[in-house]
Structure formats: C-alpha cells, structure tokens
Amino acid sequence: MGFVTLMVVLFWLKTLVAYFVDFKLGLSDPFQFLILLLNPLATTILLFGLALYFKRARFFYPFLFLIDILNTLLLYINVIYFREFTDFMTVSTMLGYSKVDQGLSGSSLALTSPHDILYWLDLVVVLVLMATRRIYIDPRPLNKRVGLAVTSSALLLFTVNLTMGEMDRPQLLTRTFDRTYVVKYLGLDAFTVYDGIKSQHTSELRSHAKKSELSGILKYVHKNYAAPNKKLYGVAKGKNVIIIHLESFQQFLINKKINGQEVTPFLNKLYKSKSTYSFDNFFHEVGQGKTSDAETMLETGTYGLSQGSLFTQLGNDNTFQAAPAIFDQAGYSTAVFHGNVASFWNRSSTYKNLGYQYFFDASYYDTSGDKSLGYGLKDKLLFNDSVKYLQHLQQPFYVKYLTVTNHFPFTLDSEDSSFKTPNTGDKTVDNYFKTAHYLDQSIKEFYAYLKKSGLAKNSLVMIYGDHYGISNSSNKSLAKLLGVNPDDWNDYDNAQLQRVPLMFNMPGYKKGKVEHTYGGEIDVLPTLMHLMGMSTKKYIQFGTDLFSKAHNPVVAFRNRDWVSPEYTSIDGTVYSNKTQEEIHPTKQQQKLINAMQKHVNQGLSDSDSLNQKNLLRFYHPKGFKAVDPSDYNYSDGLQKEEKIEKKLGLKSTSLFSRNGDKSTQPFYKTDAPELGHKTTDSNRIKITNQDDTSGK
C-alpha cells in the first residue's frame, strides 16, 4: 500500500505540473482551483489500485509500472499536442495517428521543453531506488479486500469530484462545449474514457449507415424546398458578406429604453433603415449547444443535436457542405474573427471541416489584463484589432465576427460603460442592458470604419442574435420592464421571448423594410444564399428562404416545441397567438396542428440522422468539391493572403492594396479605455459626432 501511495502521489504531482505549466485551463475562482487539485486523484487511485488485485509481487510491481508508464504517456502526448493545437487529443485523433503525425511532423522536437524531464523522472528515480534496494519489494500476498476497498474509495472520490464539477458547470457532460472544461473538472483520464464512449457510439451509428438512408431525407428536403423571390434573388451578388453574431441578444432590446435612454440606439437606427431588411418574428432554435448550435444552422442549414453540441461531438470528422466552402468555391476568401480560445466549442477542428480558410482566435489578439472578460476579448477591441487581418483578405470575402461581451453573467468594467441600469432586484437582468449597450457601441464604431474604408458600399452585413440572454428562470424579473405582470407570466410568454434580431443590411439599398414573416435560424442560410444569387436547390438544407412565397412559417425548437403565426405548442399544450391563451382545438384545428408537429418532428429527426450517421459523405452535389480539412492551418495567419497580394500587385483586391499598400487601421476610431481612451459621456459624444454625418 505504501508503494501504491508513493506512485499515486508522484503521478498526481506531475499531472499538476501539466495543469499549471502546460495546459491553459482558465481557473477563475478558488473552487475551481480546489477541483483541479482533486481531479487527478480519483482516476489515478482507481487505475493504480488495479495492481492490488494481484496477490503475487512478481505480477503486482510490473503491472503497476505498466499502468504508470501508459498513463504518463497519455499525459505527455497531450502536453505535446496541446502546445501545437491548444487542445486535447481525442480517441479518434489517437486512432488516426497518421493525421496527428502529419500535424506534428518536423515540430515534435521543437515542442519539447526542459521541464518535460519531470514527466518521466519519477519512474527513473523509483526504478533506481528499487535496484539499489532503497525501496524493498514486499513479497507478502495481498488480500483482495484491499483492492476492493481502494476501488470503492476511488469511485466515491470520483462521485464527489463529478458533483463538484456539475455544481460549478451544470450539464458538464451533456453539453461538452469545450474539452478543456472536462479536463479541468474531471481530469485527463476521465476525459479520454468519456470521449472514447462517445466515439464508439458515433462509430457504431456510422458503421451501420447506408446511402439508401438519404432517400427519405432528400424526399423531405425537396418537398419543403422554397423557390427564391425573383425580385430579391441575387440583389447582393458579388458583394462581401460580413456576419455579425450578437451574443445572447434578444429582440426585445431593439427600440427598448431604460431610464429614458435607448439601450441600442445604433442598432435601432439600422433596424428601421431603408437599407435593411429586418425581421421581428425571427426565433433562435438552439439546444444545449447554444452558440455552436446557432453557428451550425447558420453555416450548414441543419439543426444542432438533441443533446450536446454538434461542433464538439461530430465536428472533428463530419462531412459538411457548408457556407464557407460554398462561398470559397465561388471565389470568396473566408475567415472568422473571435476573441476566445480556438478550442472552445471545438471550433479549431470544426471550422476546418466547414471550409473556413482562416480563423483568428484569441492567440491573434492581445487579451492581457482587462482587455478580456470571461469569454474572450471585449467587443470594441475585437472589431478594432481585427482590421489588421481583415484588410489583407482578397475581396469578395465571407467573414464572421463572434462577439462575446454580452454574455452571461453580463459583467463589464465601469470604465467601459456609463449606461444606467434598471433596478429589478435581479443583477443578471439589470446588467444585461449595460452589456447590450456596450455591444451596440462596438457595432457603431465598426460601421464607421466600414464607411470610411469604403467597404460598406460593397458589402452585405448580416446581423443576428444567436440565442436568449435572459433564461426562463429570470424572465419574471424581466417582465416588469416589458410591462407584464410577473404573476401572469407563463410558458407561452417564455416561448415568445425567444425572438432574436435578424437584419440584412446593404448600404446604399433603398427598398428595405421590417418583415413580419415567422422564421428561425435554420432559415438563414438559404435566405442569404438566394440574396447572393446562389442556388440552394442541390444542397440538403432544412430551412427555407424567408423571402419566398413558399416559405414554411413553422419554427421548430430543439425540444420539438414550435411556434407559428397562429399557434404556439409547448409541451403538448397549444396556445392561440391571438388570445395568448390555451386552446382546446376543434377537429379542423387539430388536423392542422398535427401536420405542423409532424413537420417539426421529421425535420429534426432527419437532421439528426444526417449528422450523426455522417450521411453527407454519400451525397455529392454537382459542382461542389468535398472539403479537405488538411488544407487549412490556422497557425500561419495571413501568410497565404500576403503572398497573393505581392503576386497580384496592382490587381490585388484586398483593402490594404486598394489603399495604396497602406494600413486602414487609422480609419478606425474607438473609445475603448483599454487603448488609453477615457469613456466619459462627453468623450463618447465627441466621437459619435465625428462618425455620424447626420450631426445628431
């Protein structure tokens, strides 16, 4: 037992070396620190304790050493892998060693560090001590009860560990939005086992999948296809596409005033502009994958999964026929700008399979000090600091900005905003308006840059909210601000509050208006593609063009509830949108409701089947080239684009080249205090007057 204890303690210590020196696990409070200290012990005791089931010393010692060596090897290869990819190795990555080797070839030695000796030193020292008889081999046979006792204790400790992890991060294993979180809360061994189980389940589904299973899905998609509106088809053809992802931004923020001050004055103006098509009955449709689900629908035209995140569960090796690849093959440059780590939601892998050429994550920005909040770089800094990369992309381009400041728990430094919050008694609700106001200012500054740099006149800017910010548990506190009696608030109100903004803004366009069509995030991709003059008929997409006369206005929620212009169905209870009360349907109404429910159920089921079984590998749309993720390397920045600029010379279409090979960074004006600006009201007004030609 003394020898087992020694080996456990030594392995625990070198695991902590990896946690604090090599892995960036992002500890934010003492409770997480306590969990991190605890999590290597449970699985280490469990694994090393298996040796105690061997009665004889000649089996006990070699087995314990074998377990220690294998566990050390697992730890060390993750250390090397993390240094290169800022992520942990999945079971599928380990099994496909050729891909890992390709990614690390020529750099493995460069990825080593002098302190790596600590990962192997304990094994060498113990062997030397045993060889010199400083540690004696105990020949006495062991009682099996010892092994059972140690195993039971390890399982109990793991249960405590898991409970603490769930307390700090609810739905830790069901959402799995970042592999780093599983390692931080449960340890590397637990993550590997968990990932192996998931991989096995996925593998079984895919091994039995057949091409014939596509026929039913294609029948549903073709039946529900909506031809484009001829007046709007191709209205933005050839323009740049700039997507602004509004984190946790709900529709009720538009035109909302708090203490007499507009929460989002710039977005309000944009929302009502004649250059914008806006939608006031547009709903998010995310599940546990939240932001990643919104991206899944936006990029692929398929739904997120019923449990967990498609990005994290299937993003490593799924086949996609997604927007980035479609635009790339139409001659567009494609990129994502995001101030969080690349591994969050497994974006670093999934984006390659989607076909994104570039991904500018936190490693491309200065996120030190107060420049960053819990989920990454503040929005004003993201837009400002992305200019140096955006200006080198060849036009036309398809780019996406993922904002993060308006994210739960909605905390913001006092220097960043002087917006006066409401006083509902719920800090989450009160602060939500402050961070939303900050996001609005960020977009205003970015738009001023687009105009001054000349990008605005040749771009379509799509702005959308990804999911709710205020959860159902806080909606009664919010009700006071919406003019609703909290005591009257019910499930129907919760469903209606899932509206988020959607705007297609084309500077210079004069026919825009606010549309009242019912739709959801699944409808964005076909709508965008048709505006760009790209046919969607050959692709498998589960939404329909919001501008089409054949658009289906039934909006499916991930839990199979739904809303339509006439009815809302929540947990089987149907409400009339007109009376906002529960109804008892007539036979005619029930027939219509059943048809809507069938449509929702089939769409969600077919999408799940398509993604979980990776059926798109059997589908080859004419003219579309399958994505090869090995074509993309997100660590080389814009080297490829800069080489293109030099090669093309005067023919280069990048903003940098068109500005006489001069940076457009000076065009950007921001009042971000992190860059040395004071965020007083007078200073903000001064900057606003410089950028707003209306003089308001």
pLDDT, tens only, 249-260: 999 999 999 999
pLDDT at 638: 83
The Cα–Cα gap between 677 and 664 comes to: 20
**Beta-bridge mates of residue 514:** 278
Contact (CB, 8 A) for 410 and 469: yes
Residue-wise pLDDT tens digits, 174-186: 665 567 788 889 9
Domains in the chain: ranges and CATH: 1-206 (no CATH), 222-631 (3.40.720.10)
10 Å CB burial of residue 458 (0-12, 13-18, 19+) is: middle
Q: Give ∠ CA 346-348-350 in degrees, rounded to 5.
A: 65
Q: Give per-residue pLDDT as tens, 607-661.
A: 999 999 999 999 999 999 999 999 999 988 888 778 778 877 778 999 999 999 9
pLDDT in tens, 373-389: 878 899 999 999 999 99
* Sole residue written with tokens 């899905």: 217
Residue-level pLDDT at 686: 34
| pLDDT over 90 (residue 495) | yes
pLDDT score of 90: 75
Region of 208 please: left (phi>0), alpha (psi -120 to 50) or beta. Answer: alpha
- The whole-angstrom separation of Cα 13 and Cα 7 is 10
With 0-12 / 13-18 / 19 or more C-beta atoms within 10 angstroms meaning exposed / middle / buried, residue 227 is middle
Six token digits for residue 63: 């087995």
Query: Where is the binding site for Mn(2+), in residues?
Result: 247, 291, 466-467
Is the confidence at residue 100, as pLDDT, over 50?
no
Q: Which residue has the higher pLDDT, 679 or 6?
A: 6
Residue positions in the annotated binding site for substrate? 407
Cα 91 from Cα 192, distance rounded (Å): 7
Which tokens hold the place of 498? 């899932």
Provide the pLDDT confidence category of residue 28 given band limits of 50, 70 and 90.
Answer: confident
Residue 680: per-residue pLDDT: 39
pLDDT of residue 468: 93
How confident is the model at residue 645, as a pLDDT? 80
* Amino acid 58: pLDDT: 86
- In the chain the first and final C-alpha atoms are separated, in Å, by 78
Does 679 score more than 60 pLDDT?
A: no
197 is written with which tokens? Answer: 């189980």
471 confidence band (pLDDT: 50, 70, 90): confident
Binding-site annotation: residue ranges = 247, 291, 407, 466-467
Q: State pLDDT tens for residues 263-302.
A: 999 999 999 999 999 999 999 999 878 899 999 999 999 9
pLDDT at 77 over 80: yes
Q: Is 50 or 199 the better-scoring residue by pLDDT?
A: 50
**What is d(CA 233, CA 531) in angstroms, rounded to the nearest whole number?**
5
Q: What is the mean pLDDT of residues 193-219?
A: 86
Convert the pLDDT of each residue in 150-175 to its tens digit: 999 999 999 999 999 888 888 777 66
Q: Which of 12-26, 142-156, 296-310, 597-611 has the highest mean pLDDT?
A: 597-611
8-state DSSP, 355: T
8 Å CB contact between 518 and 496:
no
- CB of 425 closer than 8 Å to CB of 474: no
Q: What distance in Å separates the CA atoms of residue 133 and residue 471, rounded to the nearest whole number?
A: 63
Ramachandran region, residue 484 (left: φ > 0; alpha: ψ -120 to 50; beta: rest): beta
Verify cis geometry, omega within 30 degrees of 0, for the bond prior to 565: no
Instruction: Quickly list H helices, 454-521.
Output: 475-479, 491-496
What mean pLDDT do residues 331-354 have? 94
Asked if residue 10 has pLDDT above 60, the reply is yes
- Among residues 382, 429, 444, the alpha carbon closest in space to that of 250 is found at 429
pLDDT score recorded for residue 95: 59
User: Between residues 206 and 632, which one has the greater pLDDT?
Assistant: 632
Return the active site residues. 291
Token match 């800094």: residue? 381
Q: Any idea which of 65-74, 96-105, 277-286 has the lowest mean pLDDT?
A: 96-105
Closest CA relative to residue 477, chosen from 500, 504, 497? 497
Average pLDDT over residues 100-120: 67
> 360-364, 413-417, 446-450, 598-602: which range is least confident on average?
413-417
Given a cut of 70, whether residue 559 has pLDDT beyond it is yes
Q: How confident is the model at residue 662 (pLDDT cuts 50, 70, 90)?
A: very high
Average pLDDT, the chain: 89
Q: How confident is the model at residue 106 (pLDDT cuts 50, 70, 90)?
A: very low
Give the mean model confidence (pLDDT) for residues 573-590: 93
Q: In this predicted structure, what is the pLDDT of residue 419?
A: 92
> Do you know the residue count of the chain?
696
- Does residue 692 surpass a pLDDT of 50? no
Alpha carbons 298 and 525: distance in angstroms, whole number: 6
